[in-house]
Amino acid sequence: MKKIKRDFIFKQGNSGTPLIIILCAVHGNEPAGYLAAKNVISQLPSSNDFSIVGILGNIQAFHSNKRYIDQDLNRIWNIPSTPNTKNIIEFSEREEIIKTVKSWVAKTKAKEVYFVDIHSTSASGTFIIPSEHNNGIELLQYIGFPIVNGLLKGIQGTTIQFWQNQTFFDCPFYVFGVEAGQHQDPETIKNAIKVIEKMIEYVTDKKPQLPLCSTATYSLTYTHLIKENDNFVMKPGFQNFDYIEKGKTLAIHNNKEIPCPEDCYILMPLYQKQGSEGFFLLRLQDLSMGQ
């Protein structure tokens, strides 16, 4: 198979216009963002109003259809490169992603950057992960999927955390993540396409007037962590945003039942072999009471 180029598809507009960056397949077994970016960008007419580029994340894992090869690429962005990381594939992939993003911001002289990291999960359900700075919230509400606040407090070393704190660029840099659905579900590609199309509408100011507070918003209450070599088995049948009553058994972890600690909603139950979080628990935010 021919190796795919890092910036695998793009359309470049005038210098000094907005730049949309679609990062995809940071986990190699999650192709929806790649397929969606190819679908949307290949059909775009020429435009001087903005630039858009699809950037492939973990190329080697993507070709192997694995979440990662050596280490999870979406958990190492807070770890500095050292001689000990030289031979770890994901550290090389990370440096190439940084190099490619810098190159596109420089050559487009972008006046602002809109950066999305598109993922999928082993359970169905679509949602948005905002940056911890919560900037660009109007765009996220316009996209219209549920928003999960605080999720990054339960995960370390993600792309979003790295790019939200980047100091490379002087221009505004809006970053967020999307979980578009279940890995093999055809609807997941459609959801990813919707995200990209909504970003283009927003950036080119072709959006209709926004409804007020139309998006369901959740906040993180608990993260169930898994260590290497742990024996973790999620109970079958859970989907993203299922309501769970206190006491219900969620998983078996090292031969012990894990009960739900409170009435809540479940997110990203782990139904695949690779992963360091078994599940997340959420509460539904009452926006009328503030955040």
219 band by pLDDT with thresholds 50, 70 and 90: very high
The tens digit of pLDDT for each residue in 1-33 reads 577 999 999 999 999 999 999 999 999 999 999
Q: Who's near 268: CB < 8 A, 6+ residues apart? A: 121, 122, 123, 179, 240, 277, 279, 280
Whether residue 210 lies inside any domain: the answer is no
Tell me the CA distances in angstroms from 75 to 91, 161, 199, 210, one per residue in order: 11, 10, 26, 34
CATH classification at residue 246: 2.40.50
Q: Is 213 exposed, middle or buried (0-12, 13-18, 19+ CB in 10 A)?
A: exposed
Whether residue 209 lies inside any domain: the answer is no
One domain for residues 16 and 141: yes
The tens digit of pLDDT for each residue in 69-80 reads 999 999 999 999
Give SS3 for 121.
Answer: strand
One domain for residues 140 and 238: no
**Residue 17 CA to its chain's centroid (Å):** 24
Among residues 203, 231, 261, the one where a domain terminates is 203
Whether residue 141 lies inside any domain: the answer is yes
**Domain ranges, residue 11:** 7-203
63, two tokens: 């070709």
Give this prediction's pTM.
0.89
Residue 208: what pLDDT? 64
CATH classification at residue 35: 3.40.630.10
One domain for residues 155 and 241: no
One domain for residues 29 and 172: yes
Helix (H) or strand (E) holding 89: helix 89-108
Give the residue among 172, 173, 206, 204 at the shortest CA–CA distance from 49: 204
β-sheet bridge partners, residue 129: 177
pLDDT, mean of residues 257-284: 95
pLDDT, mean of residues 130-142: 90
